[in-house]
Structure 1
Amino acid sequence: MGIFDKIKEKLSHEFIDIIEWLDYTDDTICHRFERYQNEIKNNAKLIVREGQTAVFINEGQLADVFTPGTYTLNTKNLPILTTLKGWKYGFDSPFKAEVYFVNTHLFTDEKWGTKNPITLNDERFGLVEIRAFGTYAFKISDPGKFIIDIVGTDNNFTNFEINEHLKSLIATRFTDTVGEANLPIELYAANTTELSETCQTVMEPEFESVGISLEKFYIENVSMPEDLKKEIFEYSRIDKLDLDKLTKFKTAKAIEAAATNEGGTAGAGMGMGMGFVLAQQMGGMMSPQMGGQQQAQPQQQATGAMPPPMPAAVQYFYAANGQQAGPVGFEQLRALFANRTINKDTLIWKQGMQNWTALNQVEELKAFLGGNTPPPLPQ
């Protein structure tokens, strides 16, 4: 290669005539045009494609921003850079400036999720924990602000680098939003669309503050512990079930649990007591049929004195979920106490009482609280 060829090659790399960026990836948000110490030639061509924005930075200061199109770089198309450089009468010599290309297309299917469970205070179930995850979509709405506040001097900025920041922001704002919503816990999974829209409205200003537009936000699932989920399902059926049937159902479950309990005679005694109650209740349900059969039998002859009629059993009413329930007999009330449908603070009323009274203040019901276990048999 002759000396003139070397001089020609050197001059051909001295100035940049065309500034453009072809993005062959799907995750690059911002790319700095590499100059390798070369200067931009006066009247060079700038090509900005659809879905891109070109940003000129001069000595750390935001200069000119170009939307899609083809431009000839001179004092007419670089008004801010012209002012910063002090070119009062135009320029003919090459100049240096950092050029960043920003992708302005929509970045979709970005994942988010809560790293740790969110603790909520529900009125009926107390402190509960939930988790949530979903997707979101964003795009760069203010390229200049985004470069100054987020990118800095990074020469190739990808969505992976911003996603950790955005996911932390989303998790924080999601926690605040669901905490302030104060919804019943069972409604979170059933109202994900409304909750997604509310969260997006809350998060949009946070994204806009760094030049990002939150375009879509979706909550795909709100999960909770399995035992809490089962309790919610059972609670939701209470209004649709007959209270008497529900009591029998819970009694049967308590008998089953007591039968599998190997804790000793206390568990066996409780199981037997509940068994007697259930047998009594089932006997009451069958009594109409039995009565019909008894009427078919010949009536006993009245020989001798007949005993007086049995005294009427005491019937109790109790408060459940702010409503009056009952009446139930003594043994039924004991069964409700045993399976924790009621407790020592439950309000009780029976005929002859002036006011509703807590269970532990009713004399004959204090036996439910313990202390009436007989001593062991003598050896």
Structure 2
Amino acid sequence: MGIFDEIKKKLSHEFIDIIEWLDYTEDTIAHRFERYQNEIKNGAKLIVREGQMAVFINEGQLADVFTPGTYTLNTKNLPILATLKGWKYGFNSPFKAEVYFVNTHLFTDEKWGTKNPVTLNDDRFGLVEIRAFGTYAFKINDPGKFIKDIVGTDANFTNFEINEHLKSLISTRFTDTIGEANLPIELYAANTTELSETCLEVMQPEFNSVGISLEKFFIENVSMPEELKKEIFEYSRIDKLDLDKLTKFKAAKAIEAAAANEGGTAGAGMGMGMGFALAQQMGGMMNPTANTTQQVQQQQNASIAPPPIPVQIQYYYANNGQQAGPVSFDQLKMLFANRTINKNSLIWKQGMTTWLELKDIEELKSFLGGNTPPPLPNV
């Protein structure tokens, strides 16, 4: 190759006439256009395709951003760059600037997940751990800010390079969001749609701060240890159970079983009881004196009979915003023990003018444990 061929080759690379970028990778977010000595010819054509934007950087400073279209590069199209360069004669000579093409299409089906379990404090189950995972979608909405704050001088910035940063951001904000939601532990898995929308709203400003728009965010699953799942299922069944109805049901079944067995021991006992009663009635008719004595004895027995059984106090309680009950003192104590209610649950009984928290009702303070007598009065 002669000297003239060398000169011709150098001149053909020295001034670039067309500046464009075709992405064949599908995961490149930003690509720096390579050219000989960074020189761009006056009047060169810039082609920015749909789903792209072009960013001009001059000596580390943002000069111009071009949206999709075809441009002839001159002082009319590059007023900021012309001002930075201070050219008095327009683009009569080649100029130097770095050109980055930024992919602005939607990057979908990006995966995220909690690396470590998230610890929550539940009123009924105490400290519990959950994990979550899902997908998100994003796109670049401010190419200039993205190039300055994230890409820097990287010649070929890929989706993989930004993903780790975004997943760490998501995991942190997700933990904060569900902690502030303060839902019962069993409702996190049942409210993934609402939680997803809340997380999207919380995370959007963080993404915008570096020129990225979080377009979609989905929580696909919230998981917890198997032993906690079993405990929640058992609690759910107890919570739905009406203890008063259960007692009546068991009593009805017992009466039904006794009636079905009337030919056996139960029937014999009933027959003997009826026979004794009939014999007493006949004896009284034949012996009036004995009958009178028996009446006096019955009256004496009645005078020393115990008083009637006091009526049990019935309590009503609030559960998940709904009124439940009535239940007895012992049943209410059982509900407190299995964490259906707690010290802050609202309670009402007949004679009270308003609902009070359990801890403020004198006879229920024994549920809380640690009762101590009041101090002795001064003698």
Does structure 1 residue 222 correspond to structure 2 residue 222?
A: yes
Q: Which residue of 2 aligns with 1:169?
A: 169
Of stretches 87-96 and 287-296 in structure 1, the one that deviates more from structure 2 is: 287-296
C-alpha displacement of 1:91: 2.1
The structure-2 alpha-carbon separation of the partners of 1:333 and 1:48, relative to structure 1 and needing over 3 Å to count, comes to closer
Contact 1:108–1:136 at 8 Å: present in 2 too?
yes
Aligned residues of 1:51 and 1:105 also touching (Cα < 8 A) = yes
Secondary structure at the residue paired with 1:100?
strand
Could you tell me how far apart the structure 1 residues matched to 2:85 and 2:329 are?
Answer: 92
- For the residues of structure 2 that align with 1:358 and 1:203, how far apart are their CA atoms? 44
Q: Which runs of 5+ in 1 are unaligned?
A: 248-277, 348-354, 362-379
Structure 1: distance between partners of 2:39 and 2:367: 91
Partner amino acid for 1:30? A
State the shift of 1:92 in Å: 0.9
The aligned amino acid for 2:241 is L
Q: Determine which structure has more spread, i.e. the larger CA radius of gyration.
A: 2
2:71 aligns to what?
71
Distance 2:366 2:259 in 1: 32
Residue-by-residue CA offset, 1:39-87 (whole Å, 9 max, x unaligned):
1111111111111111000000000111111111111111111000001
Structure 1 partner of 2:376:
none
- Superposed displacement of residue 234, structure 1: 2.1
How far off is 1:285 after superposition?
7.5
Inter-partner Cα distance in structure 2 for 1:195 and 1:333:
34
Mapped pair 1:34 → 2:34: yes
**Is 1:356 matched with 2:358?**
no
Q: Does 1:293 align with 2:228?
A: no
Secondary structure of 1:169's counterpart equals: helix
Quick one: distance in 1 between partners of 2:64 and 2:367?
80
**1:296–1:319 Cα change, 3 Å:** closer
What residue is the counterpart of 1:375 in the other structure? none
SS at match of 1:191: helix
Distance in 2 between residues matched to 1:22 and 1:333, nearest whole Å: 72
Residue in structure 1 matched with residue 124 of structure 2 by the alignment: 124
Do residues 235 (structure 1) and 235 (structure 2) align? yes
Distance 2:246 2:118 in 1: 33
The structural deviation recorded for 1:297 is: 3.4
CA 176–224 in structure 1, closer or farther in 2 if over 3 Å, else same:
same
Q: What is the deviation of 1:283?
A: 6.6
2:240 counterpart letter in structure 1:
K
**Cα offset, 1:38, TM superposition:** 4.7
For the structure 1 residues 137 and 341, does the alpha-carbon distance in structure 2 shift closer, same or farther, using more than 3 Å as the test?
closer
TM-score, with normalisation over the residues of structure 1? 0.72
Name the amino acid aligned to 2:28. T
Range with greater deviation from structure 2 (112-121 or 312-321): 312-321
Deviations 1:213-240 (A, max 9, x none): 0110111011111122222222222343
> 2:7 aligned with 1:11, yes or no?
no
d(CA) in 2 for partners of 1:79, 1:145: 19
Code of the aligned partner of 1:24? Y
Residue identity (%): 74
Write the distance in 1 (CA, Å) between the matches of 2:243 and 2:15: 88
Evaluate the alpha carbon distance shift between residue 101 and residue 290 of structure 1 in structure 2; reply closer, same or farther with a 3 A threshold. same
Residues 196/359 of structure 1: CA separation in 2 closer, same or farther (3 Å cut): closer
State the partner residue of 1:93. Answer: 93
Which runs of no fewer than 5 residues in structure 2 stay unpaired? 284-293, 295-300, 319-324, 348-361, 369-379
Structure-2 residue corresponding to 1:368: none
User: Take 2:332 and 2:90, find their aligned partners in 1: how far apart are those partners?
Assistant: 97
Higher helix share: 2
Q: CA deviation at 1:207?
A: 0.6
Q: How far apart, in 1, do the equivalents of 2:260 and 2:363 lie? A: 36
Q: Indicate the residue corresponding to 1:2 in structure 2.
A: 2
Q: 1:221 to 1:69 in 2, by over 3 A?
A: same
How many pairs were matched up? 318
Contact 2:244–2:327 (CA under 8 A) maintained in structure 1? no
CA deviation after TM superposition for structure 1 residue 320, in Å: 9.8
TM-score calculated relative to the size of structure 2: 0.72
User: Match for 1:325 among 307, 327, 337?
Assistant: 327
Deviations 1:79-124 (A, max 9, x none): 1110000013312111111010000000000011111111112222
Shift in Å, 1:324:
5.6
1:311-370 superposed Cα distances (whole Å, 9 cap, x missing partner): 899997797977663487xxx999x79xx659xx999xxxxxxx7366699xxxxxxxxx
CA 1:281–1:36: 2 relative to 1, 3 Å: farther
AA at the equivalent of 2:271: Q
